[in-house]
Amino acid sequence: MPGRIKKGLFKIILLAVIAIAFFLRIYNISENPPSLNWDEVSLGYNAYSILDSGKDEWGKTLPVIFQAYGDYKLPGYIYILVPFIKLFGLNEFSVRLPSVLAGTISILLTYLIVSKLFINQLLSSGGKKPDTNYDSPITNHQSLALLSSLLVAIEPWSFFLSRPAVEANLALCFFLAGFYFFLRFLHNPYFIIHSSFFLGLSVWTYNSYRIFTPMFIVLLIVVFKKEFGRLFVNRKTIAYCLVPSAFFFLPMFFQLISGVGQERYKKVNIIDDGAIGQIVNLRNKYELDPFFERLIFNRPVYFTYNFSKNVISHFSYKFLFVQGGSNYQFSIPEFGILYIVNAVFLIIGIIYLLKVRNRISILLLGWWILGAIPSSLTREAPHVLRSITILPVPMIITSIGVVVVFKYLLDLPFVSRIPYHISLTRFLIIIYFLGLVISVCLYVTNYFTKYRSVYSWSWQYGYKEAVEYAKSNYQKFDKIIFTKKYGEPHEFVLFYTRLYPVNYFDSNNLIRYRQSD
pTM for the model: 0.90
How many other C-beta atoms lie within 10 A of the C-beta of residue 389?
A: 27
Buried b (16+ CB within 10 A) or exposed e, 204-216: bbbbbbbbbbbbb
Statement: residue 516 has pLDDT above 50: no
How confident is the model at residue 262, as a pLDDT?
72
How confident is the model at residue 245, as a pLDDT?
82
Statement: residue 248 has pLDDT above 60: yes
Rounded to an integer, the average pLDDT of 224-247 is 79
How confident is the model at residue 421, as a pLDDT?
54
Query: Which of 113-117, 327-331, 447-451, 511-515 shows the lowest mean pLDDT across its residues?
Result: 511-515
How confident is the model at residue 425, as a pLDDT?
72
CA-nearest of 157, 179, 25 to 109 is 179
pLDDT tier at 167, thresholds 50, 70, 90: very high
> In this structure, are residues 301 and 371 in contact, taking their beta carbons and an 8 Å threshold?
no
Is residue 90 packed enough to be buried (19+ CB in 10 Å), middle (13-18) or exposed (0-12)? Answer: buried
Q: What's the length of the chain?
A: 517
Query: Which of 11-20, 35-44, 94-103, 302-311 shows the lowest mean pLDDT across its residues?
Result: 302-311
Question: Which residues, including other chains, have CB under 8 Å from residue 5's CB and lie 6 or more apart?
Answer: 137, 140, 142, 143
pLDDT tier at 25, thresholds 50, 70, 90: very high
How confident is the model at residue 213, as a pLDDT?
97
- Regarding predicted confidence, which is higher, 2 or 364? 364
How confident is the model at residue 509, as a pLDDT?
59
Statement: residue 133 has pLDDT above 90: no
> In this structure, are residues 141 and 147 in contact, taking their beta carbons and an 8 Å threshold?
no
How many other C-beta atoms lie within 10 A of the C-beta of residue 496?
A: 21
Average pLDDT, the chain: 85
- Regarding predicted confidence, which is higher, 303 or 276? 303
How confident is the model at residue 124, as a pLDDT?
43
How confident is the model at residue 125, as a pLDDT?
40
How confident is the model at residue 259, as a pLDDT?
72
